[in-house]
Structure 1
Amino acid sequence: MASSSKPKRIYHVFLSFRGTDVRNNFLDHLYRALDLKGIYTYVDSEELKKGDQIASALMKAIEESHIAVIIFSEDYASSTWCLEEAVKIMECKEERDLKVFPVFYKVEPREVRTPREKYKEAMDKHESKFGENSEKMKRWKKALLDAGNLSGWLVKEGDDSEHIQGIVKEIATHLGREPLHVAKHLVGIDSRVLKLKSMLNLESNDCVLMVGLWGQGGIGKTTLAKAIYNDIFTQFEGSSFLANVRETSKGCKDLVTLQEKLLNEILLRSQRLVVSSVDVGTNLIRERLFCKKVLLVLDDVDDLRQLSALAGEGKWFGNGSRIIFTTRDEHLLTAHKIDQDHVYEVKALDNSEAHELLTKHAFSTHQKLKIRANLVDGVLNYTKGLPLALEVLGSFLCGRREHEWKSTLKKLSKIPNKSINDVLKISYDGLEENEKEIFLHVACFFKGQEIGYIKKVLGSCDLEIAIGLKILIERSLISIKSGTLQMHDLIQLMGMDIVQQDCRDDPMRRSRLWLYDDVLDVLSYDMGDCAVKAIVLEPHELKEISINPDAFTKMRRLKLLILRNVYNSFQGPVCLPHWLRWFEWPGAPCFPEFSSGPKRLVGLCMSKSSITIVAKQYKDLQQLKYVNLSDCKSLVSMPDLSCTPYLKELDLAYCTNLVEAHESIAKHDKLQILRLTGCSELSVFPDVLESKHLRTLYLDGCTKFERFPDIPNELEDLEELWLLGTAIKELPPSIENLVSLQNMFLDNCKNLEIPELPPSFSYLYAEGCKSLKNNGDLTSLHHFVRRGLSMADAYSSGQVDNRCLTISKLFYLEESC
């Protein structure tokens, strides 16, 4: 949808005058002075073309002007046509925001307002002709009264030149408050402007509102800011749109320039204010604007000092003022005390809007070329609703044939468009080193993956992941949706391109590798100085790769190595550099070896491997926090956890030959998650479980597991207990010590008896518990289950006491009870 239509403006100034009075002196000089300033001025003798209908042409010219200057000379009112012009001008002032300046040329303003002397004589003559109470006379008198009350210039004999210069300066200043050029083609703007106007609450003059427009580069923040500015700026006493604040304010001197521009645009001074320093400018803004209703737009802000110097506080401005910022950094708005209710997130165009914008740029009205729908869809899929990309690519593809569209899409899949990339890269360039590293890892490897997994991997690589991800979200570079990390395709391509620019022809000089051929090249050479920090290889189909045992040991910077869907044709263990932080290779043929030196590995993921025992090298991996050996069907013994004192998570799910849980799990200080799901042969477990920081214990599917360990008071962090399908007959009374326990899954524990549960308990899943027995307070709960009453009904009838109301959900099969 295009932006709402505005009055078409052709002329800067319309001059209304009585020719016999001023045409050959004052008027001529004023017209020439305006012309020298480049101000396009309508004067009937200059602009009326032969054959035009004079009346309609003049009225149309008034409608198409920004400013009207009425020169009230002695004989002005004697002309009925001049009076009709005055009426039309005052109508346009009310209806079309026409700015009107009166010039009282050798007459007093009161002579015009309440017709006196020459004006009274002229109006008396008109009354005798048209009638004193005629509609025509009423309109003329009102126009003279209203225009005569306006602020203007009083020009007396002999001072024409001085006043003409003042008039021209004032007009030139006012013309600075022009609508801004927004864009060649506007799509989807109207609905966004309406939503933003609602947020701005323009009807209220009780306070000053500050609103932030936030979004990624190229999303249309500036376009929306210009559109809302054009729509509302005439409602304010003064307005200023400061574009490219980030670029302009790279030093204090440039902030001074912005302060001067703000003050002079809002105050409309013919004599410019000069600001000597940022502090002086700050004081001037507060002193000059505190009682003035203003509209101020600061476009592309990226530093708090910019806001502090240009719009530090709402009380700097008069009530009813509206201050709008556009930024890529949401935290900047938070730091400036703008609440979330006044932050407008600018989002990508939807599919229909994107198609419309692409069509407007890519296909001219006279174009006869037909482009296949799949090629158009390819561009839409590439741009993902980003207006900048749609405009740039649409304009580039305009007039090109199908094979050129196809070639362009192929090229873009390898190398991003520079014009688009340069805009997007601004957000990356403003990041600190920690955030740059996280961003490049995400762009190259982790888009669309689960956020918890990403935090583990990147946190293991010496990166401050919590604050890093938060900053990337605030800078509109990533988002988190449904627990997964998302990134616009063009931002991802920008990140990949940054890495590839390290050296397009030599992957060994790049920091990150993710393409099969690049990894193959690097592993094939006897490397000298290798720049690779991370390798994540995940081909769509199973790929063979020959990895020499020492292939990785010379990668002195390698911290992250993930190989999925890859098998090694070179038999024998791979030797890894001792500084590696995360190693992940599902299906690895054997346990890796490590180069000499202190081992720094934090994450070890070797699910679906054919290992039978954990190699002796494991005892050297004392920094391990995450171990995943799930689905290792041949694994017969659990590793000794005392060798890894910092271990947080151990996953041994579906290790179907694992019989015994190592006694070291019972007292581990750091262990939080222990997953033994599907270990169908597991029957031996420590008698007492004392891992005081354990939060989740998975024993579901351990069909030979019969006895649950005793629980001391110290085990306070356990929140979830999974025992589905086990052979246990009872839970120990000490389960009441689990003061944080909320969820327990007991489905198909066919012989189970439940003791009293802790007060923190919320969810009990007991489907298929055919011989469910209960002790303590849960006896009444058992009756409640079997009778199928609602919790409220059971409680009111006395069958369930207040103790049982902590259980909000209970799942079971009626026929199994």
Structure 2
Amino acid sequence: MSCSSGIPLALEVLGSSVSKQHINNMMEHLHNLRRNPPTQIQEAFRRSFDGLDENKKNIFLDLACFFRGENKDDVVQLLDACGFLTYLGICDLIDESLISLVDNRIVIPIPFQDMGRFVVREEDEVPCERSRLWDSGDVADILINNSGTEAIEGIFMDASDLTCELSPTVFGKMYNLRLLKFYCSTSGNQCKLSLPEGLDTFPDELRLLHWENYPLKYLPQKFNPENLVEVNMPYSNMEKLWEGKKNLGKLKKIQLSHSRNLKDILMLSEAQNLEHIDLEGCTSLVDIRTCIPRCGKLVSLNMKDCSHLRSLSSMVDLTSLKFLNLSGCSQLEEIQDFAPNLKELYLARTPIRELPLSIENLTNLSTLDLQNCRRLRQLPFGIKNSKSIVKLKLSGCTSLVHTSTGASVNSPLPLLSPFPNWKRKR
């Protein structure tokens, strides 16, 4: 029984609650148990939960309502920005056996998750007066009826099967909204929330803005994003973020992947604390030389399949950059100096003819993917002396000829030692 999550008390209580009349309608019975946990489970949970201070209670309720199964570091970053002492709170919740970590992901026994959500439902009979909303039916009613209130701090909604029109003032009264996520859990579905009259603004308290298939060309001009930590808006219709400058000092992560109309990301140059940028599949981007913040805090840059990208500035000052993916940038013919501490570099299916000599100085580089770089004529000689490269992919590099016997072009570095035998194809 999955809702027991392996807890002996839960197994005992749930087992004893199943009478003969329940067997024929087991799914409805389990659904009712999850919304209204048995008294014994409530009491066991309350013994731990009621002794927590407000900081830990709020952290647990956010975890139970929104972040079960998520990466701990990502959650800490978001909730710290909400004013919580998240790392210490998580440690104490582990000590209380309310949560655990597996592979650095938040694990909450389902009965305790249900109890956390039960606590939130007890805040008010009316969903719009509760602090956290995750039930798609409740959220849809509030959005359609424009009945949001200042009580709401977080909304996570699976919009897989939902099609509705929203008012431009839909978030107007949600002054305290910290976390907003509209997503699709079903593969192939789209988030079909439309804004036929546009959108006035988002709440200025937002730390997380996650809206798949965002329907508008821009984010609201009135929106002050000074508290934003994460923007996740794949498959959006956006052409640019905003007109003019905005305060993006707290922004750490932005994902606009597959936003095919996106032409202007100049605003990102203002985000001096950005660590992760994902622009995969943004096929209208051409020149981003002045768009990447030069602060040295950027850790990953993904521009895979940006098929019209032509220009990329030198990255030598991006000292924190570890991951760079330019695979499929089919018009990017020249690359200047790389970031000095790169670990993973993906250049597959690009029309580059040569690599900058600075690649010989990348002493941390472990992965170099050059598959199907059909115009690549030679590799810098110093690569053969690299002690860090573990994976080197060269299949489909038809302008390179390998004359030694037996070694595969997709092999780990030890099989690629006879580099002097590489030569230009005549």
Task: Encode CA deviations 1:613-652: one digit per residue, 9 max, x unaligned.
Answer: 2321663434322111110111123334322111111111
From 54, 65, 78, the equivalent of 1:444 is 65
Separation of aligned partners in 1, 2:366 and 2:413: 18
Q: Report if the CA contact (8 A) 2:202-2:220 is conserved.
A: yes
- Structure 2 counterpart of 1:576, which letter? F
Q: Report if the CA contact (8 A) 1:580-1:600 is conserved.
A: yes
What's 1:282 paired with?
none
From 399, 404, 407, the equivalent of 1:785 is 407
What's 1:611 paired with?
238
Matched, 1:676 2:295: no
Matched residue pairs, number?
409
Q: CA deviation at 1:536?
A: 0.7
Q: Report if the CA contact (8 A) 2:260-2:283 is conserved.
A: yes
From 28, 35, 39, the equivalent of 1:418 is 39
Separation of aligned partners in 2, 1:709 and 1:790: 26
Q: Report if the CA contact (8 A) 2:150-2:175 is conserved.
A: yes
Q: Per the alignment, in what secondary structure is the counterpart of residue 754 of structure 1?
A: coil
Matched, 1:769 2:397: yes
Q: Report if the CA contact (8 A) 1:588-1:608 is conserved.
A: yes
The change in CA–CA distance for 1:617 and 1:457 in structure 2 (over 3 A counts) is farther
Matched, 1:639 2:258: no
The change in CA–CA distance for 1:749 and 1:472 in structure 2 (over 3 A counts) is farther
Alignment RMSD: 3.4
Q: Report if the CA contact (8 A) 2:268-2:293 is conserved.
A: no
Aligned runs of 1:490-569 on 2, under 5 Å?
490-503=111-124, 505-523=125-143, 530-539=150-159, 541-565=160-184, 566-569=191-194
Q: CA deviation at 1:770?
A: 2.8
Separation of aligned partners in 1, 2:223 and 2:241: 19
Separation of aligned partners in 1, 2:267 and 2:26: 60
- Structure 2 counterpart of 1:677, which letter? K
Q: Per the alignment, in what secondary structure is the counterpart of residue 58 of structure 2?
A: helix
Matched, 1:738 2:358: no
The change in CA–CA distance for 1:476 and 1:747 in structure 2 (over 3 A counts) is farther
The change in CA–CA distance for 1:761 and 1:473 in structure 2 (over 3 A counts) is farther
Q: Report if the CA contact (8 A) 2:390-2:413 is conserved.
A: no
What's 1:721 paired with?
345
- Structure 1 counterpart of 2:133, which letter? L
Aligned runs of 1:86-165 on 2, under 5 Å?
none
**Greater fraction of residues in helix:** 1
Aligned runs of 1:396-407 on 2, under 5 Å?
396-397=17-18, 402=23
Q: Per the alignment, in what secondary structure is the counterpart of residue 59 of structure 2?
A: helix
Gapped runs of 5+ residues in structure 2?
Answer: 185-190
Q: CA deviation at 1:489?
A: 1.5
Q: Per the alignment, in what secondary structure is the counterpart of residue 522 of structure 1?
A: helix
Q: CA deviation at 1:568?
A: 3.0
Aligned runs of 1:550-699 on 2, under 5 Å?
550-565=169-184, 566-571=191-196, 572-590=198-216, 591-593=218-220, 595=222, 599-616=226-243, 619-665=246-292, 667-687=294-314, 689-699=316-326
The change in CA–CA distance for 1:723 and 1:400 in structure 2 (over 3 A counts) is same
Separation of aligned partners in 1, 2:118 and 2:221: 32
Gapped runs of 5+ residues in structure 1?
Answer: 1-379, 802-815
Separation of aligned partners in 1, 2:264 and 2:412: 47
Separation of aligned partners in 2, 1:595 and 1:706: 40
The change in CA–CA distance for 1:451 and 1:744 in structure 2 (over 3 A counts) is farther
Q: Report if the CA contact (8 A) 1:667-1:692 is conserved.
A: no
Q: CA deviation at 1:392?
A: 2.4
Q: Per the alignment, in what secondary structure is the counterpart of residue 631 of structure 1?
A: coil
- Structure 1 counterpart of 2:388, which letter? S
Q: What TM-score do you get using the length of structure 2 for normalisation? A: 0.83
In our comparison, the structure showing a higher alpha carbon Rg is 1
Aligned runs of 1:738-757 on 2, under 5 Å?
738-752=362-376, 753-755=378-380, 756-757=382-383
Q: Per the alignment, in what secondary structure is the counterpart of residue 234 of structure 2?
A: coil
Q: CA deviation at 1:697?
A: 0.9
Separation of aligned partners in 1, 2:308 and 2:240: 16
Q: What TM-score do you get using the length of structure 1 for normalisation? A: 0.46
Q: CA deviation at 1:456?
A: 4.7
Separation of aligned partners in 2, 1:785 and 1:704: 31
Q: Report if the CA contact (8 A) 1:638-1:662 is conserved.
A: no
- Structure 2 counterpart of 1:600, which letter? N
What's 2:188 paired with?
none
Q: CA deviation at 1:508?
A: 2.3
Higher RCO structure, 1 or 2 (CA under 8 Å, sep 6+): 2
Q: Report if the CA contact (8 A) 1:574-1:592 is conserved.
A: no
Q: CA deviation at 1:676?
A: 0.4
